[in-house]
Amino acid sequence: MKDNPFYTIAFMLIVSAVFALMLSLTNEIYLPRIEANELLEDRRAVLYVFELDTEGEAEEVLDRFESHVEEQTIADIQLYVHLEGDEVLAYAVPFTGSGLWGTMNGYLGISPDITQVTGLIFTEHNETPGLGGRIDELDYLEQFRGIDIREETTLAYGSDGGDQLDAITGATGTSNAVLNILNDLLDETISELEVALNG
């Protein structure tokens, strides 16, 4: 009976249906929680770029985000603005680009007069843990605070970039991919932003 083609088809259909049902139920149950986690992660990333406190319970973090940050669209660019009263302290521009192994997403902080890079964070990437994955470490990210982009508009590692940035040893591919993404962003989006802001 087990070799009967109809049995085979029926068996496959039933097994698929049972497991698909099980997975979609689990997904349905956990989806709100997963989305909440992802939102929180995203909010923390923006707070980090603005040098605000990222610690604390979910609610505190979301409140802090609400009170300091506003989402705006300037020249068709969706970005987050760090506000203190009416004064703009910094922009966080989202970017996406190809890393060594997959897509990288994150935010780049820019000062309101577009003269400085004020911070960098990645929200998603597929780099090798322990090698390229170390772009998530503060030692690497903190280098991107306060880099002058008035004269030299391209970022570079080592002496070419005025010794402001160090690549990650053993992860040259990832390190270069990061700079390529950021330089493209500075060239295109950030320039557009500058034009839009300064008229």
| Binding residues vs other proteins (CB under 8 A) | 2-3, 7-8, 11-12, 15-16, 19, 22-23, 26-27, 30, 33-34, 37-38, 41, 102, 125-126, 128-131, 133, 169-170
Question: Closer to other proteins at the Cβ: 97 or 112?
Answer: 97
The structure tokens listed for 159 are 């002496």
Question: Closer to other proteins at the Cβ: 41 or 142?
Answer: 41
From the CB of 130, what's the least distance to other proteins, in Å?
4
Closest CA to 112 of 196, 34, 33: 196
- The partner residues of 98 in beta bridges, in order of sequence, read 103
From the CB of 76, what's the least distance to other proteins, in Å?
30
From the CB of 70, what's the least distance to other proteins, in Å?
26
Q: Residues 74, 166: contact at Cβ < 8 Å?
A: no
From the CB of 79, what's the least distance to other proteins, in Å?
24
Give the sign of the dihedral formed by CA 48, CA 51, CA 52, CA 55: positive
Give the sign of the dihedral formed by CA 120, CA 121, CA 125, CA 128: positive
The owner of tokens 């190809």 is 98
Question: Closer to other proteins at the Cβ: 146 or 158?
Answer: 158
Question: Closer to other proteins at the Cβ: 159 or 169?
Answer: 169
From the CB of 186, what's the least distance to other proteins, in Å?
27
Q: Which residues contact 3 (CB under 8 A, 6 or more apart)?
A: none
The structure tokens listed for 21 are 């049902």
Question: Closer to other proteins at the Cβ: 15 or 75?
Answer: 15
Find the largest Cα–Cα distance for the chain: 79
